[in-house]
Copies of this chain bind each other. A is one copy, B any other.
Amino acid sequence: MAEKSAGSAANVAHVTLTRALALGSRQPSIKDIARLARVSHPTVSRALQNSPLVSAETAARIRKIAEEQGYRASAVARGLVTRRTRTVGLIVTSVDDPFASEVACGVEEVASDRGYAVLLANSHADPERERRVVQELAERRVDGLVVTSSRVGALYLPLLKNLDVPIVLVNDQYPGEFVHSVTIANQEGMRAATDHLIGLGHRRIAYLGDSNGYRSDTERLAGFQEALADAGIDFERELAVEGDGRPEATMEAMNRLLRLKRPPTAVCCYNDMTALSVIRAVRAHGLRVPADVSVTGFDDLFFAAYLAPALTTVRHPMRRMGQMAMENLFKLMSGQESIAQIKVGAELIVRESTGKVPKRGRHHGQ
């Protein structure tokens, strides 16, 4: 007797995964457990939910049998009757994008903490595909939706009314406001970066945007212009160019800037990925960062601190924003009204990619 229990205790690690089923070959259903415990299946259901309506001994017995059989209630059957799947959809542009994956991590974190699962889908920044993906998630009856960098944005409004699936947007790119969103202070952040450059003596500062970032690009450019205006520097149209997200396009845009008669001494990039390509283009021209050209990023992706020179950038608390989005979504799903739009602050992180303006006439400038 004593040896027997000792023996099974030794197997405990295995047991968690094995638990041979004495019935058929398929997974046991609640009725199988009920039969083994000689009770009705509702009693099993209640016992497993710690309902007070079932006696302690019966509950213990049922739980023991369920454990032995490795029984796990089917979430799909439960979802059918409760009309809640305890699942949320998460739409990102692409999981391998460092920005998106950080947000995803925050979302998964708090969802998982509350027993929710996350259905992942990529939109690839394609409005058409984003719409399709939303439909597929709706078909799977997710309880809520988090969408990062949405290109559809306000178009969700009607869907919201009919499907009544709460939606929270992170870093919404659609012009105009959506009901629930978590965004960063784009304008203020870029303004801080620009101010920093101006403080270092730069006067010819370029802005290298991204046509993919509809709204945030617009806002960041606005912050850039605001800083120039307040410093009494004229905004020169030729110094504001943009890429389309692809490294080649960004490098080409930067090349155009460097070939200008009077090239900029500093460039504010739409984000860190842009800055990566910009630095590359600068070096391809035989110039140094920051000695010849200062560069700022935006987002503070994990590798920004590891670059040489380490990137001066604006911190975008992506993971935290993912958490906030999910927390907000939970409030919406539980019916309570919550803050509609959350705007988080952007913090300038000064590192090594920015420096004082070079003595004039360094390169092909006059």
Contacts and interface: CB of A to CB of B under 8 A. Distances in A.
Contact of A119 (B18, B120, B155, B308): B120
A104 to B, nearest CB: 5
A315 to B, nearest CB: 15
Contacts of A17: 131, 155-156, 158-159
A98 to B, nearest CB: 7
Contacts of A25: 164
A162 to B, nearest CB: 6
Contacts of A36: none
Contacts of A119: 87, 117-120
A135 interface: yes
Contact of A308 (B121, B158, B307): B307
A340 interface: no
Contacts of A238: none
A225 B13 CA distance: 35
A27 interface: yes
B85 A95 contact: no
Contact of A18 (B27, B75, B102, B162): B162
Q: Tell me which of A20, A117, A122 has the highest count of chain B C-beta atoms within 10 A of its own C-beta.
A: A117
Given A159-B18, A306-B307, A105 B94 contact: yes
Q: Is the interface of A mostly helix, strand, loop or mixed?
A: helix
Contact of A70 (B80, B118, B162): B162
Interface in A91-110: 94-96, 98, 101-102, 104-105, 108-109
Nearest to A134: B17
Contacts of A155: 13-14, 17
Contacts of A162: 18-21, 27, 70
A138 interface: yes
Interface in A235-284: 276, 279-280, 283
A5 to B, nearest CB: 21
Contact size class for A?
A: 35 or more
Contacts of A303: 276, 303, 306
Given A95-B95, A155-B17, A307-B306, A72 B121 contact: no
A9 B20 CA distance: 59
A102 B108 contact: no
A3 interface: no
Contacts of A122: 105, 108-109, 112
Interface of A: 13-14, 16-21, 25-27, 70, 72-77, 79-80, 85, 87, 90, 94-96, 98, 101-102, 104-105, 108-109, 112, 115, 117-122, 131, 135-141, 155-156, 158-159, 162-164, 276, 279-280, 283, 302-303, 306-308, 319
14 contacts: A18-B159, A25-B164, A27-B162, A72-B138, A73-B139, A76-B79, A96-B101, A101-B101, A104-B120, A105-B122, A119-B120, A120-B120, A276-B303, A307-B308
